[in-house]
Amino acid sequence: MLLQGIAAAPGVAMGPALVLKNDTHTVQRYEIAPEQIQEEAERLEAHIRLAISQLEALIEQTRAAVGSEQAKIFESQIWLLEDEEFTGAAKEAILSKRINAEAALDDASKAIIGIFESMEDEHLRERAADIRDITNRVLRLLEGKDARPQQESGAPVILVAHDLTPSDTAQLDRSSTAGFVTDIGGRTSHSAIMARSMEIPAVVGSREGTVQVRTGDYVIVDGSLGQVYINPEPAIIEEYKAKQIRFAARRDELKKYGGQPSRTADGHRVELVANIGNAQDALAAKQSGAEGIGLYRTEFLYMGRQQFPTEQEQFQAYKVAAEIFGKDQPVIIRTLDIGGDKELPYLDLPKEANPFLGYRAIRMCLDETELFKTQLRAIVKASAYGNIKLMFPMIATLQELRQAKALLAEVQNELEWENVKFNRSMEVGIMIEVPGAALVADQLAKEADFFSIGTNDLVQYVMAADRMNERLAYLNEPFQPAVLRIIDHVIQAAHREGKWVGMCGEMAGNLTAIPILLGMGLDEFSMSGGAVLAARALLHQLDRHEMKQLADEVLQMTSSEHIKLHVESRVPAIAEWRA
Ligand code: PEP
Ligand code: MG
């Protein structure tokens, strides 16, 4: 079976699935003879034991793949299976109703689900889902429908989940997770972005992944085409083994671009830098050939923990990245951009109807000045150790930029008083991701040292299409004429003020977009580390003047499909380097 989703992170992964979700079941029901009662009760008991041992194995796999938090789900399921209240009631039903084990278990399960569902406490109500899940597991075993390939212990799994939060994804262990598939999400949801930076092949927005795939199924994830094969024919497996080999060969071929400058065939220099979420990523980015960091998503330092990181912890995390890239190569640290799909469990903010349009990023930081100033202190202190630049996210108005800069100046003055060394001339830029900011880019460019265009958000706001919604992928599309025009507007406005412009949204690493952006005059391209070498290889084959003409043509075109086809036919090298 083949599922078509959204290509989230290139590459091919194959292996046994680990599904992080419940499934449903139809149950056989028949009467049994009195002399079968004992045997039927023993049959039930044996399969409950089997289910417990499966769950124990799942706990280990889940712990390794996604962390202890997710594994707890299975721990509480074991606890429920060991609870006499539930399984005892099933055995009792075999005796009193003289029915088969499956039907008895189903009856006991429904009764207990009814009790849980009527409870006030939300946490207890959620236990109903666990009862459903364990009932299905035991039923499948009882009916002998669990004859799926046994997973080799320790073999990397293909994780299949309804959704993975950014912090789930951040905790994925590369050695135990070969790839992942989610039901929902778009190409610029943060789980997709992280999969690309971790180089884990992934498909998001498959819609039915958790419905169609069962734990233990053999799954192929084609993260380049957005396809998921479930228990494919041997011929398809062979085809994909060959594809994996081609993918590895391309990666080897690209290695020769590692130490080379990022310039076009006619000698025009741009910067190819990487997006990272922590200090370890900085090293990986350097090894992938990035000439610096164009976006350090600092919110990841705040995730997967119970309280805010201290100034000292943050200082260390920024300093390490600065030192990896040295005095010349830039490390752009973006201040906290929490909100949207990135939540902090310990920051108790009210639930919002539209989180992407809500109290997030700089909006929150300008309110929570203590939290913000702690981060600013850490960044300013780290600026003494490399070429750090600071960037504010989600700026919508000039007043927000001024307020943020005023807080930064306070911090710098305090540190001066304390005799702490730092770089007084650190550049301070902003992300352009709110259409309102893009339209006043001329005003903002007078007071910001640089811009970095955040297309992940900019596209969703320009097109009014949630970046997490797989049904809106046709609108959430950086090649939409409206998006290209606003990007061009921002670049020209900044250049008129003598400021440089980068892009750190996912579009910057898109091989079809690079020729257009180069033609528009973009100065810096920031992408996942794994995309840098292909971008550089392509750049070497482009002529800046020809691309300027291409950009002018594209800006007059009327559909994203035509624009992509036009660029790809004018620049055949795109196909050569595509993953
Ligand atoms: C963006 O919006 O393009 C961006 C780079 O920021 P994030 O993806 O973290 O919202
Ligand atoms: Mg953004």
Residues making up the chain, counted from first to last? 579
In the chain, pLDDT over 70 holds for what percent of residues?
Answer: 95
Q: Which pLDDT tens digit goes with each residue over 144-182? A: 655 333 344 567 999 999 888 776 777 777 888 999 999
Distance 189 CA to ligand 1 centre (A): 9
Over the stretch 219-263, which tens digit does the pLDDT of each residue have?
999 999 999 999 999 999 999 999 999 988 998 999 999 989 999
Q: Is 454 in the pocket of ligand 1 (CB under 6 A)?
A: yes
70 confidence band (pLDDT: 50, 70, 90): low
Cβ(337) – ligand 1 distance below 6 Å: yes
Of residues 130 and 313, more confidently modeled = 313
Catalytic-role residue among 489, 504, 545, 562: 504
Supply angle C-alpha 198, 342, 306, rounded to 5. 95
Mean pLDDT over 99-123 rounds to 85
Can you give the pLDDT at residue 560? 98
Give the pLDDT confidence of 508-523 residue by residue, as tens digits.
999 999 999 999 999 9
Closest among 104, 86, 96, 85 to 44, alpha carbons compared: 104
pLDDT at 553 over 50: yes
The share of the chain scoring above pLDDT 90, in percent, equals 68
Is 292's pLDDT higher than 50? yes
Cα 60 from Cα 12, distance rounded (Å): 25
CA–centroid distance, residue 492 to ligand 1 (Å): 21
- Asked whether the beta carbons of 90 and 101 are under 8 A apart, the reply is yes
Q: Determine how β-strand 218-222 pairs with β-strand 227-230.
A: antiparallel
Nearest CA to ligand 1 atom 4: 454
**3-class secondary structure, 322:** helix
Give me 2's structure tokens. 């083949």
- Amino acid identity for residue 394 in this structure: M
Type of residue at 7: A
For ligand 1, is residue 294 a contact (CB within 6 Å)?
no
Which one is catalytic: 190, 495, 545, 566? Answer: 190
pLDDT given at position 151: 40
For residue 121, the model assigns a pLDDT of: 73
Q: Closest ligand 1 atom to the C-alpha of 452?
A: 5
Cβ(396)–Cβ(416) below 8 Å:
no
Cβ-Cβ contacts under 8 Å for 509 (sequence gap 6 or more): 196, 525, 527, 528, 531, 532, 535
Amino acid at 294: G
How far is ligand 2, taken at its centre, from the CA of residue 573, in Å?
30
> Is the shortest distance between the CB of 299 and ligand 1 below 6 Å?
no
Say which residue, 531 or 68, is predicted with more confidence: 531
Cβ of 297 less than 6 Å from ligand 1: yes
In the residue annotation, 504 being an active-site residue is answered as yes
Distance CA 314, CA 377 (A): 9
pLDDT at 23 over 50: no
- Is residue 480 lining ligand 1, measured as CB closer than 6 Å? no
C-beta 101 within 6 A of ligand 1? no
Spell out which residues have Cβ within 5 A of ligand 2, the ion.
Answer: 433, 454, 457
Q: How confident is the model at residue 22 (pLDDT cuts 50, 70, 90)?
A: very low
Smallest CA separation from ligand 1 atom 3, residue? 454
Query: Which band of pLDDT confidence, cut at 50, 70 and 90, is reported for residue 188?
Result: confident
Asked if 166 contacts 194 with a C-beta cutoff of 8 angstroms, the reply is yes
Work out which ligand 1 atom sits closest to the CA atom of 297: 9
pLDDT reported for residue 127: 74
| Atom of ligand 1 at shortest range from CA of 505 | 3
Q: Please check whether residue 383 is in contact with residue 324, taking contact to mean a CB–CB distance below 8 angstroms.
A: no
| 365 among known catalytic residues | no
pLDDT for 146: 52
Write down the pLDDT at residue 112: 87
Pairing of strands 6-9, 202-204: antiparallel
- Whether 47 lines ligand 1, by a CB cut-off of 6 Å, is no
Supply the DSSP symbol for 258.
T
Task: Name which residue leads in pLDDT, 24 or 525.
Answer: 525
- Work out the average pLDDT over 395-420: 98
C-alpha 159 to ligand 2 mean position (Å) = 26
